[in-house]
Structure 1
Amino acid sequence: MMQRKFLLFLSVLCFLTGFSQEKIKQSINSNWQFYKGKINHTDLETNKNIAWEEINLPHSWNKFDVMDDQWGYYRGEGWYKKTIYVNPNWKNKSVYLYFEGANQTTEVFINGKKVGSHIGGYTAFSFPVKEFLQFENPEKGNEIVVKVDNSYNEDIPPLDADFTFYGGIYRDVYLIASNEVHFDMTNRSSQGVFITTPDVSLTSSKLKLKGIVENNSKSEKEVIISTKLLDKNNIEVFTLSSNLKLKPNSKTDFLQLSKPIQNPKLWSPEDPYLYKAVSVILDKKTKKQLDLFAAPVGFRWFSFTADKGFSLNGKPMKLIGANRHQDYKDLANALPDVLAEKDMKLIKDMGGNFVRVAHYPQDPAVLEACDRIGLLAMVETPEVNRITETKAFEENSIEMQREMIRQNFNHPSVIVWAYMNEVLLRPRYDEKSAERQTYYKNVAALAQKLENVTREEDASRYTMLPNHGAFDLYNSVGLTKIPMIVGWNLYHGWYNDTFSGLETFLENHHKVLPDKPMVITEFGADADRRMRSDNPKKFDKTMDYAMLYHKHYLNAIENLDYVAGGTIWNLVEFNSEGRAESWPHMNNKGIVSWDRIPKDAYYFYQARLSKKPIVSIGSKNWTNRSGVLSSENESAFYQDLEVFSNENEVTLKINGQSLGSQKTKEGSTIFKVPFKNGNNIVEAFSTSNESVKDFASIHFTLYAPNLNSEKYPFDNIRISLGDQRQFTEELTQQNWLPEQVYAKGSWGYVGGQAYKMRGNPQIPYGTNKLIKGTENDPIYQTQREGIEAFNFDVPDGKYELTLYFAELVSGNTREALAYNLAEKGQKEEKAFRVFDVLINGQLFLENFGNNNYLEPEKAVDLKTTIFVKDGKGIQVDFKQKTGKTILNGIELKRIF
């Protein structure tokens, strides 16, 4: 038996290795030149003054301008050029230039002649290029010039979205040379062969292949299509064979259907067992191998129902995972494949089984990883927020849908094709106009066409249309009736009402649409990893409020049978250039940071979903903390510390001292931990298995209520005014404390009130405006208006005092962002304020205000040194002249 397996393996190996001699696929990512701006391609040779930049692919020209202090980012032309050298023997082959993705319109020229163009930034495209290449002088090479343009275009989705439309050739580019007879390479840049697995059950399954063979030669050919199914160990399961006669310069369809395979090993997230389908084209006379196709095969069957949710291979399964955007800190969307794969592994390691590839098809490495590691996937096209009522927009949308499906067809992980995310979020025309009603009809008509195309392309998978939470609107327009599944992007307890509104909404769907399966395609809350609160409030952007949010949503998803599942918005933080908020240009809802550091919510989901034993200390990346003692006699500051675990009981130690053991409930338990001044070592472990553990090193700064304390002498203290959160600077890791009222012997403000942004009921205090000139926007986004004084009762000595200001009432009202559902765009009056600042009675700032340093929405910090004597401490007085006095932050540093 072993000898037979070895011989079979050798035959398969020979079967595969012959491929490398017949078809060549080589990346051409290295040593390109790039120019950002407009060029006439006919002038490239004559214009020697073009300042080309040396780059490699993948590449985006928006890596940094999306994070600067200026609104907007470069959307326009970018030009790439490279000399390629082709083998002279390729003149007898078919040669293609293949792009995995370039955003968003692309034109390609070779040796000065236009090869072709492509519309759409998220699907692959390729061109036959042999006729444009010169083979006679190999050393001369061939010049490729590529024009990419990410300008706004009314006829190309996406038109508007809560993510950044980066420009560039941001995925891999390949040259492919094949024999003149090959599997179709012009079928929307797909593999040319499509695999389905009909009639799957526990006891048997079939394999079906459908494809096209292309004959680019001038003569008739007779070929054999031979397909082997190999198991995980490359042992042959069966062989299929088909004879084809190919006319010159033609394409010929073929279809292969296997007999039932007995007792197939099934693919699932728990056991992602993959077979391989390997098809070769053989010349019938010479038996020479002409081309090869290979793809993974996963035998599985699945269903969605309105009452019981999702089942896989006959077993109920709750789909839980995350959405994924493709950008990365300092890389834009030009990621190496390994980082895309790591994102999928983050979901898998969290215990998730589902990924929504949102809001556009992504790098091939994403679904390849899903197949291997066992993640079910939904993929969608980028019609987001609104449509354009033109034939061109419709045609582009339909073409993107076809490209997406054909290019990603051979992935057993894919179970849903989707389209039109939140397409009614930003409708055109006045609300009650006849034009608005016509627009809604046109949206529904396009949705039906996309639905029809999707079912025509792939009857083996489900369709979905993800909507924002306006149930009555989507239902009345008919968008809940068109797809097979309805997706809901729900933010109860964030953008609107309270947590309990989630269950009310879901129950209403189940009542009104009793036959329509549903998935919660988005849910999440901003979690700025720099901000914490002991009293979290909706929209305060703290890690603590986000934890309350995720706990409620996961419980609801798990407890309601008719909810098929949910995907967190988002796996990672991602760039959205039009956002301001606590971290400008970022959507902070990710449970993992932009540079892929897990937040508390990630560890929570891991504790709830993962099967392997987990103990994780919450907020372990918050390594520098501070707190104000209630009494100088105390030796430690008590702070709640959450430990996430799927173990029954957890034990905690701090600095070697045991704090006892506690039972976990719903994935965590909270210890009250005494942090001493200085470094603290925290250890958490499973009470029943000490090898399941986690560590954290936390430096804590204790402040006595009296800054005159000898026991806790302070070096530096920072206070954020108008705020009830702690903030930690990303670069310096310095902590800012929330404000407090002055009491004799201590420190604090006198008078005034916390500023609250007008016209935005979401934000509990402060503003969401971008503040220029700082990386620490939260310090400047809150302030105390009408402040009379700020006092520090400090001992005698020399100090450095810094005052932080920003004018928040600027008259520069921006349009309300569509996704902030409660925010109202309204005209803001420009502030005019003038006041003096005195320090210990001495004038420090005279007539400080909008006519000088206090420019709209710009950070201002002013520093001075003070010598305190005679036990007077420091008193900063604010004297109003015109308008209200303000202070955003204050810092005091002891020099000696």
Structure 2
Amino acid sequence: MPVLAAGNGRLKISVNEAWQFYKGEIPQFPAKVAAVDWETVSLPHTWNAEDVMDDKPGYYRGVGWYRKMLHISPSYKDKDVFLYFEGANQEVEVYVNGQKAGEHIGGYTRFSVPIKKYLKFGKGEQNEIAVKVNNRFNEDIPTLTADFTFFGGIYRDVYLVVTDPVHIDLTDYASSGIYITTPEVSKEKATVKVAGKLVNSSPQKRRIKVVTTVKDKQGKTVTEKATVVQLAAGTRTTINQDLKPVKQPNLWSPEDPYLYTVATTVYDAATGKELDQVLNPLGFRWFRFDPKEGFFLNDKHYKLIGASRHQDFKGLGNAVPDARQIQDVKLLKEMGANFLRVAHYPQDPVILETCDRLGILTAVEVPIINRITESEAFADNSKRTHLEMIRQNYNHPSVIIWAYMNEILLRPRYKDEPERQQVYFHNIAKLAQEIEDLTRKEDPYRYTMIPNHGAYELYNKVGLTKIPMLVGWNLYLGWYSRSVDDFGPFLDQHHRDMPEKPVLVTEYGADADPRIHSFTPERFDKSEEYASMFHEVYLREMMKRPFVAAGMIWNLADFNSETRGETMPHINNKGVTTLDRVPKAPYYYYQAHLRQDPFLKIASRNWTLRGGIADKAEGTASIKPVANGQAGNSVSTQPFKVYTNLSQAELIVNGVKLGMQKAVGGVSEWQVPFANGINQIEAVAEDAGNLYKDFMEVDFRLVPYQLNANDVPFEELNILLGSKRMFIDELNQQVWLPDQAYRAGGWGHVGGEIFTFKSNRQSYGTDKSIFGTDNDPIYQTQQVGIEKYKADVPDGQYEITLHFAELTGGEPKEALPYNLGGTEAEEEKAEERIFDVYVNGLLVLEDLNLAREYGVARAVAKKMPVTVTGSKGLEITFEAKKGKPVLNGFQLRKL
């Protein structure tokens, strides 16, 4: 590494490049040179970016070693030198030249390690930095369980920091060492207080001057304070400064996030030489939560609507560069949101910096989730992490809430020991009170909150609704349990029972796999349509209740949860954008309701590959637009939504106007007749003489109602048996349609019933992940006891593919942490089935035993050519020898 030279003040420079990495324990390292195969990596880095997405259950949780050689300038010999880590998960030991320089516990907060006394400063000398990171499960470190992945590694930036021996403290819980408060703020004036922690590590007493300067956006000084102090050798001290009030301050708000800059500069009092400087943001604002009327900022009422955010990104795990994280906050702002719940842990410093700059109010929380360990070490680690969170983020004007203990009663211990469980509950409440008291002492200006899951009576009984200043509820009525119609009454019950407690909806959402669609959406089908309905209901109910201070979507983006199965294994699909931040339909719904500028968007604008069956009577729609380059009148009529905050909108399909529709609750709807091929769709609205438009093209795969129809030649059929939803396979450009009972001239199954599993929340299929495929929805539903599958195709050459998976049996399935409505571990009885399969009388599969030959939940696809003659069509027969035959998917392609 090249020599780094410091000037008079502080030097901070990243050291992210060219680290050596090894996954695993290395005996006696770093005391002895390790004979292992090192891999060169750059930071941020995680060792779990790939193994959390494979078919193998679990991911590596253990030790990883990082090392790097640093050449330190001889000019640093009389200075203090630190390594500053923005985040490494979760137990860290730092070694310099074989000697342990420091350690840190906790995967989501920053830490600073003084390294000067271990360094070699000679010309040409190399210093070996070695960092041991461990993301193992540890009963004494939160988080114990959660619905997200505990990625290991040094996954945020690392800096080398060089200071004069007299400097602002870097080791006060890795904070800036400066704490700014604004005890009085109004439109007329604002007062500023600054507390600074100073260090003199030199062997001499030093007389210094500390100057705090507040500058506006133009760099003009609006107030300033100088303080002269004596610092004894080898000591730390705190200075307090009351600055002259700022008159007519520019107030910070979501509409105008005006930021001042506070520069705290340390000088040698005798020579005037600058020794150190730290910059902090300052936003003048005041706020309050009212249990009847909600939230007020600068005496203006705001309904806080936004989202929570996890920090991982597709292909990167949690090792996400700053630029990508900034884009997340911009994505939230563009949605029209004014709030971010930084959940479930403190995140990269750039997140709150961007929230300050863009005007996004925030809650930040520590990762105590689902359960606690009743040990002194767990309590100490929890409180220390909480203290780190507060001090590191103290000066951000965007932060208004400190939170802790998310859904802490979700997985209570001692379920079968009632008396012992009461002790456990008492210890949770005791720790909560200790954290609450710590927070109020550290920061009396902000609010505190515990986000609870929907077990209303339990949280009241344990006392967790009484301890914090705000009560948060994570509510999934209509998803994990019950109905969306129960959401509003739940809020009313809180307000009725606890009229003195402000209420926030800290989580709500429904999974949306953007590959899945349904025109008969239902709970847990993973369709965008059900998720859209869910968000429409929840937002409407929150907006009409003034006492609901806030609503926080779970989640801004899909995120990794390695233990999940379902349609997209290892992913929680509740984001309003995908894991790589492509907006889903609900994102546009929020834009229509939250943005102040005129807005118009096709709801399903990313659903560009569609399909459907032609309407029965050769296109029953009165308007029959012709798709680009296609002839014929057959169409498939399907519902279609546009989201807008304008009064009405018009839809034009393939040049034909389908009429103007009023926007009801931000939604305009039409029945669109899709023709085969490329359909051009334009939504248009007018406001104050200005036109607003949105456009998309849909490649529509029209399946003829009668397979021998002349105007739509038959090409292919992709069918999900036992399903009520559609699946879009973008990679293979295939549209999979739900099955139907056989009808003459068409296709469909004969006999049997759809597969259901008793613990599922949906009425069909399984939520197991399927091995050997990325297209899990093809195999997660099936027809059980099927007798035949028929397709009345014209004579010719075809290729058929039969898709199977055994959905019963396997290991007992434990109720996962996120399963808010589920049961505990549940035995699943394996079905014994052996059957033959005939195609037009020819035996093609004999004694098929899926479980024995392939195992449980393994994708099996059998492809074969077929010749259809004699106008007999295609008939596939299933003959049972033991148990009931099954079929999961059926494909038919004309050759």
Q: TM-score, normalised by structure 1?
A: 0.96
How far did residue 500 of structure 1 move?
2.0
How far did residue 45 of structure 1 move?
4.5
Pick from 257, 268, 281: which aligns with 1:296? 281
SS in 1 for 2:65: strand
Q: Is the 8 A contact 1:526 1:541 kept in 2?
A: yes
* 1-structure distance, mates of 2:762, 2:566: 10
Q: Is the 8 A contact 2:254 2:338 kept in 1?
A: yes
How far did residue 623 of structure 1 move?
0.8
- Kindly indicate whether residue 666 of structure 2 is the aligned counterpart of residue 667 of structure 1: yes
Hey, what does 1:559 align to over in structure 2? 544
- Kindly provide the amino acid, as one letter, of the partner of residue 114 in structure 1: K
Pick from 210, 214, 233: which aligns with 1:225? 210
SS in 1 for 2:682: strand
User: Matches of residues 35-54 of structure 1 in structure 2 within 5 Å?
Assistant: 35-42=22-29, 45-48=32-35, 50-54=36-40
- Kindly indicate whether residue 13 of structure 2 is the aligned counterpart of residue 26 of structure 1: yes
Q: Is the 8 A contact 2:146 2:818 kept in 1?
A: no
* 2-structure distance, mates of 1:215, 1:817: 52
Pick from 71, 74, 77: which aligns with 2:63? 77
Hey, what does 1:237 align to over in structure 2? 222
Residues 539 and 20 of structure 1, relative CA distance in 2, 3 Å threshold: farther
Hey, what does 1:457 align to over in structure 2? 442
How far did residue 31 of structure 1 move?
0.6
User: Matches of residues 445-484 of structure 1 in structure 2 within 5 Å?
Assistant: 445-484=430-469
- Kindly provide the amino acid, as one letter, of the partner of residue 32 in structure 1: W
How far did residue 580 of structure 1 move?
0.6
1:181-237, CA deviations, whole angstroms, 9 ceiling, x for partnerless residues? 100111010000001111111211101101111111111111111111111111111
How far did residue 658 of structure 1 move?
1.9
1:778-819, CA deviations, whole angstroms, 9 ceiling, x for partnerless residues? 111100000000011111111111000000012422101233
SS in 2 for 1:500: helix
Q: Is the 8 A contact 1:230 1:236 kept in 2?
A: yes
Hey, what does 1:106 align to over in structure 2? 92
SS in 2 for 1:555: helix
Hey, what does 2:344 align to over in structure 1? 359
1:608-659, CA deviations, whole angstroms, 9 ceiling, x for partnerless residues? 0001111111111111111101336332222111111111221221222222
**Paired residues, what number?**
875
* 1-structure distance, mates of 2:172, 2:21: 30
How far did residue 731 of structure 1 move?
2.1
Hey, what does 2:771 align to over in structure 1? 772
Q: Is the 8 A contact 1:36 1:61 kept in 2?
A: yes
1:825-884, CA deviations, whole angstroms, 9 ceiling, x for partnerless residues? 321112211000000000000000146434211110011111111111110000011011
SS in 2 for 1:260: strand
SS in 1 for 2:387: helix
- Kindly indicate whether residue 325 of structure 2 is the aligned counterpart of residue 340 of structure 1: yes
Hey, what does 2:511 align to over in structure 1? 526
How far did residue 405 of structure 1 move?
0.4
User: Matches of residues 231-380 of structure 1 in structure 2 within 5 Å?
Assistant: 231-380=216-365
* 2-structure distance, mates of 1:692, 1:84: 57
Q: Is the 8 A contact 1:651 1:687 kept in 2?
A: no
- Cα RMSD after superposing both structures: 1.3
- Kindly provide the amino acid, as one letter, of the partner of residue 100 in structure 1: E
Hey, what does 2:573 align to over in structure 1? 588
Q: Is the 8 A contact 1:632 1:709 kept in 2?
A: no
Pick from 100, 109, 112: which aligns with 1:126? 112
Pick from 588, 591, 601: which aligns with 1:603? 588
- Kindly indicate whether residue 487 of structure 2 is the aligned counterpart of residue 488 of structure 1: no
How far did residue 486 of structure 1 move?
0.7
How far did residue 432 of structure 1 move?
5.0
SS in 1 for 2:226: strand
Hey, what does 1:845 align to over in structure 2? 845
Hey, what does 1:11 align to over in structure 2? none
* 1-structure distance, mates of 2:244, 2:44: 44
Hey, what does 1:737 align to over in structure 2? 737
- Kindly provide the amino acid, as one letter, of the partner of residue 667 in structure 1: G
How far did residue 19 of structure 1 move?
9.9
Residues 678 and 730 of structure 1, relative CA distance in 2, 3 Å threshold: closer
Q: 5+ residue gaps in structure 2?
A: 620-632
How high is the sequence identity, in percent, across the aligned residues?
49
- Kindly indicate whether residue 624 of structure 2 is the aligned counterpart of residue 639 of structure 1: no
Hey, what does 1:702 align to over in structure 2? 702
1:339-381, CA deviations, whole angstroms, 9 ceiling, x for partnerless residues? 1111111111111000000000000000000000000000000
- Kindly indicate whether residue 615 of structure 2 is the aligned counterpart of residue 630 of structure 1: yes
1:262-285, CA deviations, whole angstroms, 9 ceiling, x for partnerless residues? 111100001100111111011111
SS in 2 for 1:22: coil
- Kindly provide the amino acid, as one letter, of the partner of residue 811 in structure 2: N
Q: Is the 8 A contact 2:805 2:850 kept in 1?
A: no
1:119-138, CA deviations, whole angstroms, 9 ceiling, x for partnerless residues? 0000001111001110013x
How far did residue 823 of structure 1 move?
2.2
- Kindly indicate whether residue 148 of structure 2 is the aligned counterpart of residue 163 of structure 1: yes
Residues 462 and 260 of structure 1, relative CA distance in 2, 3 Å threshold: same
* 2-structure distance, mates of 1:743, 1:651: 37
* 2-structure distance, mates of 1:123, 1:546: 33
How far did residue 822 of structure 1 move?
2.8
How far did residue 454 of structure 1 move?
0.8
- Kindly provide the amino acid, as one letter, of the partner of residue 508 in structure 2: F
Hey, what does 2:486 align to over in structure 1? 501
Hey, what does 1:12 align to over in structure 2? none
Hey, what does 1:870 align to over in structure 2? 870
* 2-structure distance, mates of 1:330, 1:558: 37
1:745-773, CA deviations, whole angstroms, 9 ceiling, x for partnerless residues? 1111000000001233x121000011100
- Kindly provide the amino acid, as one letter, of the partner of residue 871 in structure 2: G
Q: TM-score, normalised by structure 2?
A: 0.96
- Kindly indicate whether residue 432 of structure 2 is the aligned counterpart of residue 433 of structure 1: no
- Kindly provide the amino acid, as one letter, of the partner of residue 717 in structure 1: L
* 2-structure distance, mates of 1:196, 1:85: 40
* 2-structure distance, mates of 1:811, 1:245: 72
Mean CA deviation greater in 633-642 or 158-167: 633-642
Residues 851 and 337 of structure 1, relative CA distance in 2, 3 Å threshold: closer
1:577-602, CA deviations, whole angstroms, 9 ceiling, x for partnerless residues? 11111111111000000010000000
Q: Is the 8 A contact 1:632 1:706 kept in 2?
A: no
Pick from 352, 376, 382: which aligns with 2:367? 382
How far did residue 252 of structure 1 move?
1.5
Q: 5+ residue gaps in structure 1?
A: 1-17
- Kindly indicate whether residue 79 of structure 2 is the aligned counterpart of residue 93 of structure 1: yes
SS in 1 for 2:846: strand
Hey, what does 2:598 align to over in structure 1? 613
- Kindly provide the amino acid, as one letter, of the partner of residue 787 in structure 1: I
How far did residue 299 of structure 1 move?
0.2
SS in 2 for 1:403: helix
- Kindly provide the amino acid, as one letter, of the partner of residue 17 in structure 2: S
- Kindly indicate whether residue 625 of structure 2 is the aligned counterpart of residue 657 of structure 1: no
- Kindly indicate whether residue 886 of structure 2 is the aligned counterpart of residue 886 of structure 1: yes
How far did residue 47 of structure 1 move?
3.5
Hey, what does 1:3 align to over in structure 2? none
* 2-structure distance, mates of 1:189, 1:329: 30
How far did residue 412 of structure 1 move?
0.3
* 1-structure distance, mates of 2:533, 2:851: 44
- Kindly provide the amino acid, as one letter, of the partner of residue 843 in structure 1: L
* 1-structure distance, mates of 2:660, 2:268: 72
* 2-structure distance, mates of 1:574, 1:611: 29
- Kindly provide the amino acid, as one letter, of the partner of residue 526 in structure 2: K
Hey, what does 2:821 align to over in structure 1? 822
Hey, what does 2:623 align to over in structure 1? none
* 1-structure distance, mates of 2:28, 2:120: 19
Q: Is the 8 A contact 1:519 1:565 kept in 2?
A: yes
How far did residue 532 of structure 1 move?
0.7
Residues 730 and 161 of structure 1, relative CA distance in 2, 3 Å threshold: farther
